[in-house]
């Protein structure tokens, strides 16, 4: 009888230990792919790191990155966040994980450039990533100035339905067709040409089958995290450094009703609404976007 009791007791201890371990989240930072725009003769100022939005990638920022490198006289780094572009695919992509990926990347370029702090710019989902990093006291001392493009620290509870439909559409794409054919195939589901072209930047030749295409983005992981990615509310905290919220006047992603919360989280914030720009301010009005960024960051 005592043997049975000991077996039951040990089983309970093992179960309890498993519960403890399963409840602990272990974050494993990934190494982010990136592009660098630099001119060794003039790169004298703090680096600028740019983080794209959902379904974006570093190459979307090539022209803006080159222009800002010359204008700011500073190296510019554009990264692919996890599950996007050329960065690793993972099963998870919480904002805390993505912020930690970014911290690891920033520490690398701080060491390479000898600069103690970097300027940080994030668009949409990338804006939430840089905000998540900035409000955390263990990470914020790496940031000189912060720019958030067209996103609020509050969640967008209804937007995930749109992205669910987009993900369903991408899953149905016949990847054996050419890029031009797929562009036409998507017209009924995604009528706006610029949006279709943006989505198709995520296509690449398949590594396993030369006769078809594949998605660069990890659709499965994005699908399983879409509610969190779009509905995420920034946790308690604050960043007291210089902050710019740069948004499109036609966008609606940074409504006046969100500004009191933004000011609480970022007391040194200023706002700049770019006329006639939508959510992709840097693509809709690149020159006005570049000027706004330059005025805010210029030494």
Q: What is the pLDDT of residues 81-113, one digit of tens each?
A: 999 999 999 999 999 999 999 999 999 999 999
pLDDT-based confidence at residue 40 (cuts at 50, 70, 90): confident
Rounded to whole angstroms, the Cα distance separating 47 from 59 reads: 18
Residue 100, classed as helix, strand or coil, is: helix
Q: What is the pLDDT of residues 218-271, one digit of tens each?
A: 999 999 999 999 999 999 999 999 999 999 999 999 999 999 999 999 999 999
Pick from 74, 151, 148: which is nearest to 117 by CA? Answer: 74
Residue 237 CB: number of other CB atoms within 10 A? 14
Task: Give 98 or 210, the one with higher predicted confidence.
Answer: 98
Give CA angle at 167 (29, 274), nearest 5°: 80
> Is residue 37 predicted with pLDDT exceeding 50?
yes
The per-residue pLDDT of the chain, averaged, comes to: 91
pLDDT for the residue 2: 42
Task: Give 29 or 163, the one with higher predicted confidence.
Answer: 29
Question: What CA–CA distances, in Å, run from 224 to 33, 201, 202, 228?
Answer: 23, 22, 19, 9
Question: What CA–CA distances, in Å, run from 239 to 98, 146, 216?
Answer: 18, 9, 33
Rounded to whole angstroms, the Cα distance separating 13 from 18 reads: 9
> Is residue 79 predicted with pLDDT exceeding 80?
yes
> Is residue 10 predicted with pLDDT exceeding 50?
no
HEC string for 174-237: CCCCCHHHHHHHCCCCCCCHHHHHHHHCCEEECCCCCCCEEECCCHHHHHHHHHHHHHCCCCCC
Q: Identify the bridge partners of residue 227 per DSSP, sorted by sequence position.
A: none
> Is residue 23 predicted with pLDDT exceeding 70?
no
Task: Give 199 or 5, the one with higher predicted confidence.
Answer: 199
Residue 2 CB: number of other CB atoms within 10 A? 6
Decide if 219 contacts 83 (C-beta within 8 A): no
Rounded to whole angstroms, the Cα distance separating 38 from 159 reads: 37
> Is residue 6 predicted with pLDDT exceeding 60?
no
Q: Can you tell me the mean pLDDT for 153-173?
A: 87
């Amino acid at each position: 009888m005592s043997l049975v009791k000991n077996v039951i007791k040990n089983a309970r201890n093992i179960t309890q230990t498993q519960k403890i371990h399963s409840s602990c989240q272990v974050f494993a930072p990934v190494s982010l792919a990136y592009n660098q725009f630099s001119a060794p003769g003039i790169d004298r100022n703090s680096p600028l790191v740019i983080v794209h939005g959902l379904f974006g990638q570093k190459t979307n920022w090539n022209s803006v990155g080159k222009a800002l490198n010359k204008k700011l006289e500073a190296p510019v780094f554009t990264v692919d966040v996890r599950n996007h572009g050329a960065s690793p695919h993972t099963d998870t992509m919480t904002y805390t994980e993505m912020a930690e990926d970014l911290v690891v990347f920033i520490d690398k370029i701080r060491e390479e450039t000898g600069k103690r702090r970097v300027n940080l710019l994030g668009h949409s989902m990338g804006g939430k990533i840089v905000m998540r990093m900035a409000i955390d006291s263990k990470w914020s001392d790496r940031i000189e100035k912060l720019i958030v493009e067209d996103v609020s620290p509050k969640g967008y509870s209804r937007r995930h339905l749109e992205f669910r439909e987009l993900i369903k559409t991408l899953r149905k794409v016949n990847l054996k067709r050419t890029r031009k054919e797929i562009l036409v195939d998507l017209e009924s589901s995604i009528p706006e040409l610029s949006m279709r072209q943006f989505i198709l930047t995520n296509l690449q030749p398949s590594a396993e089958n030369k006769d078809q295409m594949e998605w660069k983005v990890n659709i499965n992981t994005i699908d399983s995290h879409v509610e969190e990615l779009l509905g995420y509310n920034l946790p308690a905290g604050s960043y007291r450094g210089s902050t710019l919220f740069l948004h499109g006047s036609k966008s609606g992603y940074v409504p006046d009703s969100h500004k009191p919360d933004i000011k609480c989280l970022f007391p040194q914030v200023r706002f700049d609404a770019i006329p006639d720009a939508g959510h992709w301010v840097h693509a809709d009005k690149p020159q006005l976007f570049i000027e706004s960024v330059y005025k805010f960051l210029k030494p």
